[in-house]
Structure 1
Amino acid sequence: MTAADSSPFDFAAYLEATRLRVEVALDGSLGPERPESLREAMRYSLLAGGKRLRPILCLAACELAGGDSALAMPTAVALEMVHTMSLIHDDLPAMDNDDLRRGRPTNHKVYGEANAILAGDALLTRAFEMVALRSPGVEAERLLAVVGELSLASGAPGLVGGQVVDLECEAKSVDLDTLEYIHLHKTGALLRACVLTGALIAGASEDLLAALRTYARGIGLAFQIIDDILDVTASSEVLGKTAGKDLTADKTTYPKLLGLEESRQRADALVVEAKAALAPWHGSAAPLLALADYITSRDR
């Protein structure tokens, strides 16, 4: 879709076409290499399917900023690698101790805990390789900014820090501010990096970057609220992961603090705020606007 296209935006077609592009790029990112056992463990989780929302957000943001999304594909792959690493590590016995992910046994159940840890580590470092060494045609200064955003999102200021606080708060009384801190870091930081890195590759203006930060904060919190709701209302078969884990682990969630109805209302309000931030770019922002709506309408 182009900014000049006045026909109704077919989000389902866009989502599927972009997802398939991402799947091809993910498959090509882990070619024949040694040790084979490590490659297999990396591919097992990276190619296990999923919505691929994070790379799609990156590509859509690049397009919104007037860039060629093909130039952002290595970064989009990198973002999915970081996300996959976080899932592998979250599922470990020392973390969430889960046996099911995306409808299949978790990585450590198939390859053992040690290999699962190493596969996650390898995906994290490969992510930075994708940006720094496999992004032809992108200016070095822009790639440096992308590396900075990816570092902040994946480290202590982002998902690692959020995970630590999440673990520290298990079986404890947690207020809404602390819960939002956890999710803005554990989930929201990487979603923020997705939209910012795509825009940075395209050379986005400061105004657009500021708007995308607001957009990302809204969809990041909304995404987690819906996750919390689905953990209570959906089955393991639908989710592709173990339902009710938050309740079993005695974690504080949005439904636990606010109830299901108010949680849903909060998610809807956050999406409205996120979409409002992109109002000046409304015509060109159709994919990002539709993605915001999709986050609150999904069933898994």
Structure 2
Amino acid sequence: MTTDLNQFMDTHKELLNEQLLLKISELEAPPKLKDAMSYSLKAGGKRIRPLLLFAVIKSFGKDPILGLPAALALEMIHTYSLIHDDLPSMDNDDLRRGLPTNHKVYGEAMAILAGDGLLTYAFELIAADTSLNPATRVSMIHLLAQCAGPEGMVGGQVADMEGENKSLTINELENIHHRKTGKLLSFAILAGATIGGAVEDQIRSFQQFSYHLGLGFQISDDILDVEGDEDVLGKPVGSDTGRQKSTYPSLLTMEGAKKQLQYHIHEAKAALRETKLSTGLLEQMTDLIAVRTY
């Protein structure tokens, strides 16, 4: 990474982490619920979605902090999804980011409620963002509900579960991951574009960027599940194979998956150039997804 990208990511990630915990601490809610919500937020992570949102706003020459409430909401929804994914009735994982999963610490009932709390609080944060006009807030809430709900992440998760122990086609697999992984990335990018003041042609280019970036991100995940380092990932590798899930390496071979990853990275960067904006940071973040180790 370049110095500029490192500085941008470090600065905005630190701010995001501080604000996530501050927002939870300010809630008038049962202490154990707040502890459980904070626990999974404190576990860290790449924070790639909010960082993309900030970088898109910056590409318009605007202050990325304008997107802070939306970024907080997005990371809360992502974190809720991980808490629920880890539950025994879902992926039944014991570790997340190198730490015991939420239900292992707080029990299943409190983990479910912590996820519910993060999900619903996310929409409150956007609704209360007075830096955006009311129409834009409604538009952002609508977009987030679409991306996170039954047409997006939740629907993708259902399709992913139903695809276990089945041999999927590459088109079926792409459709699952476009919804399960890609839709929240799409929100990050399109919300940033909306706050930045994108015109119609730029929105279309950012939609293409988000589509290819989302698939590239998931292919990278599938590759790491085979070749990744457990100590770096903070969770066991090979879990997809254990659940007999179709993945890009299983359908395309590892070499084919890596070629497909490079194709989507190339197309994502081509879409960025079509925006005619200062997208240097976004291009570097796209490259980072292609070579990430966690």
Partner of 1:119: 114
The answer for unaligned runs of 5 or more in structure 1 is 1-7
Q: Secondary structure at the match of 1:98?
A: coil
Normalising by structure 1, what TM-score? Answer: 0.94
Taking only aligned residues, the RMSD between alpha carbons, in angstroms, comes to: 1.3
2-structure distance, mates of 1:18, 1:68: 11
Paired with 1:57 and 1:233, the residues of 2 have a C-alpha distance of 26
**Match status 1:95 vs 2:64:** no
Aligned residue in 1 for 2:271:
277
Q: Give the corresponding residue for 2:159.
A: 165
| Counterparts of 2:287 and 2:169, CA distance in 1 | 27
SS of alignment partner, residue 156 of structure 1: coil
Cα deviation 1:186-225 (Å, max 9, x = unaligned): 0000000101011112221111111110000111000000
Equivalent residue for 2:182, pick from 177, 188, 191 = 188
Q: Which amino acid aligns with 1:21?
A: L
Contact 2:123 2:141 in 1 (8 A): yes
Matches within 5 A, 1:1-300: 10-32=4-26, 33-133=28-128, 135-281=129-275, 284-300=278-294
Check whether the contact 2:206–2:275 (CA below 8 A) recurs between aligned residues: no
Distance in 2 (CA, whole Å) between partners of 1:126 and 1:113 is: 20
Q: 1:205 to 1:177 in 2, by over 3 A?
A: same
TM-score (normalised: structure 2): 0.96
CA apart distance, 1:282: 5.7
Code of the residue aligned with 1:68 in structure 2: it is: D
| Structure 2 residue matching 1:201: 3-state secondary structure | helix
Q: Which runs of 5+ in 2 are unaligned?
A: none
Per the alignment, residue 4 of structure 1 pairs with none
Q: Deviations over 1:27-67 (max 9, x none)?
A: 22212432001000000001211111011111111222343
Distance 1:205 1:66 in 2: 14
2-structure distance, mates of 1:192, 1:105: 29
Bigger Cα displacement from structure 2, 211-220 vs 278-287:
278-287
1:190 & 1:286 partners in 2: Cα distance? 22
Letter of the structure 2 residue corresponding to residue 250 of structure 1? Q
Distance 1:142 1:67, change over 3 A: farther
The count of aligned residue pairs is 292
Instruction: Tell me, yes or no, if the aligned pair for 2:181 and 2:214 is still in contact at 8 Å.
Output: yes
| Identity among equivalent pairs (%) | 46
| Structure 1 contact 169–251 (Cα < 8 Å) conserved | yes
The CA distance in 2 between the partners of 1:64 and 1:25, in whole Å, is: 23
